[in-house]
Amino acid sequence: MNEASADVRTSGEPSTNKHSPVTELSRWEPAVAGAAIILGLALRFWPRGPLWLDEALSVNIARVPFGELQAYLKQDGHPPVSYALLHVWSGTMGTSPFAVRALSIIISLAGFPLTWLVARRAGGTRAALWAVAVWAILPYGVRYSTETRMYVLVMVLVLAGWWFLGRLWSEPRWPDAAALAVIASVLLWTHYWAMWLLAAVGAATVLRRWLNRALPNANRELLLTGGALGLAGLSFLPWVPTLLFQAERTGTPWGAVERPTTAVVITLIDFAGQPSAEPQLMTYVLVFLIVVALVGRARGDDRWGLVLAAPARRQAMWALALALGTLLIGATAAMASGATFVSRYAAVIYPLVVVLIGWGLAACPPRLRGVLGAVVLAGSLAGIALSINVPRSISGTAAQVIEAKAPDALVVTCPDQLSVALGRELPDGQQLVSYPELDSDPRFIDWVDYAQRVKAADPAEVADKVWTLADGRPVVLGYSDTYDTHREACPAFLAALSEGHRTEILLSSTGQDAFENMSLVRLDP
């Protein structure tokens, strides 16, 4: 018997462990979990507003000719797989917000059966059911399942890789190693944080070899798993020169450097939803469930009783080790290199946490499971409601205001990051430029030496060029002072642009009404 089946048996099977969390499902469990799954599916198709910066930029890059994709990504900072996939998809389905987001939605659907398979192998049917419910409804997953970015693809690839890794760690065979090599390679070509996950897997494999050194398959497991990771790394070598250029010249000038411990806290809160009170409270519940997955068991037939059972379930220990290891390695590397950390990078560990939560719910006694399951469901819905009520971009509203009140104006944005989403919403023929380089293509952001170029620009000089370009027309400034790269530049540019001109505020946005906020100021010649 392998360690997965020895640890926890599937639902309906006899068990000699009186503390086993897996017995016959309660009548209410399929109904509650099913409701969560149905809600999660419905929320993925919930109508959403215009694309925000990262989404619009992804679509714009994906639409360039295939042969030019590497050149555009070189100045953007990502590997190509998701963009190539979006290129093919949008060529057939179009580039409307729903069309491009539909690709992420469809990819997320593959996560439902994969989560079931991974969770059931070690935790049984009950654990699988609850893990799928968590995959369906947890706010972080819902958000990135409905965003035109690579993160949901990363999640699904991690689930698939976890399935084959579990098979290798149970009964090492070369077909599973080959499958893991392919998945790991695609992961590397999809997002750079896959490097830290694979590093954690490599370290765990070496540790397992030492712990299981007396077992007959220990060397074979090390050889096949290490070989799969090595082949994945070799496949990535052609892209390494681009990666090194991006690391040196693009970086992440738009965000702050975070300590690894801070990264852990940020990640847990964002898994639960927006950084507001309700998701922060639910974070405690999620952490408790992860702890239960590690060491908790129901106390006999007691509907409330929970005891500590040792040793901790091996699969949960390995999952947590991989999740924390990946996050700490990646965050430490980011801090050491001066790069920023944002929670979306943690998509590589999100499936591990989802399954851990499912295992934790399955390990709880019935009444406690019901209460905590209801809390997770209600807390998730609260977190999703908070995010749905805040549009991802105000660009649609801004475009409508410009069309109604200044259709003949020259539109300029500061920072230039606002132009990417706004440009999609403006009518054809509306001239759009961006600070500081007025001759740059407003559909794209060139991140190469970005902070240096912004700092070197003279706001007064750029303002003079804007009025020359306007040639007697009014100017509408799309403006925000909340971007780290432009906190000083944009106020100075607005002051220089306004000097000697009549101004009118057309739209005021403080950041509370949209994730990507923007105020509009009309300036007459």
* CA-based nearest residue to 239, from 185, 193, 202: 185
Q: Helix axis angle, 277-295 relative to 366-388, nearest 10°? A: 150
Query: How is the chain split into domains, by residue range?
Result: 25-388, 395-524
Confidence of residue 307 (pLDDT cuts 50, 70, 90): low
Taking Cα atoms as reference points, which of 118, 130, 151, 117 lies closest to residue 40?
Answer: 130
- Mean pLDDT rounded to a whole number for the chain: 89
Indicate the pLDDT class of residue 301, thresholds 50, 70 and 90. Answer: low
CA-based torsion, 370, 374, 377, 380: positive or negative: negative
pLDDT in tens, 430-464: 999 999 999 999 999 999 999 999 999 999 999 99
Mean pLDDT score, 234-252: 93
Q: What is the mean pLDDT of residues 301-308?
A: 58
Closest CA to 360 of 310, 290, 304: 290
Report which of residues 427 and 122 the model is more confident about.
Answer: 427
- Cβ neighbours of 165 (radius 10 Å): 26
Burial 413-445, CB ≥16 within 10 A → b, else e:
bbbbbbbbbbbbbbeeebebbbbbebeeebbbb
Q: What is the pLDDT of residue 437?
A: 94
Residue 66: the pLDDT is 92
pLDDT at 18 over 60: no
Q: Are strands 306-308 and 296-298 parallel, antiparallel or unpaired?
A: antiparallel
Report the percent of the chain where pLDDT is more than 70.
Answer: 91
The pLDDT of residue 306: 58
- The pLDDT tens digits for 146-196 are 999 999 999 999 999 999 999 999 899 999 999 999 999 999 999 999 999
pLDDT in tens, 268-298: 999 988 766 677 788 999 999 998 888 877 6
HSE-CB of 203 using CA atoms within 13 angstroms: 14
Which pLDDT band, with edges at 50, 70 and 90, does 312 fall under? low
- Helix-strand-coil split of the chain, %, nearest 5: 65, 5, 30
Q: What is the pLDDT of residue 157?
A: 98
Phi and psi torsions of 435, nearest 5°: -85, 135
Q: How far is CA 238 from CA 70, 188, 235, 242, in A?
A: 12, 12, 7, 8
Q: Are 130 and 376 in contact (CB under 8 A)?
A: no
- The predicted-structure confidence for 314-336, as pLDDT tens digits, reads as follows 888 999 999 999 999 999 999 99
Is residue 357's pLDDT more than 90?
Answer: yes
Q: Which residue has the higher pLDDT, 101 or 389?
A: 101
- Range 369-377 average pLDDT: 90
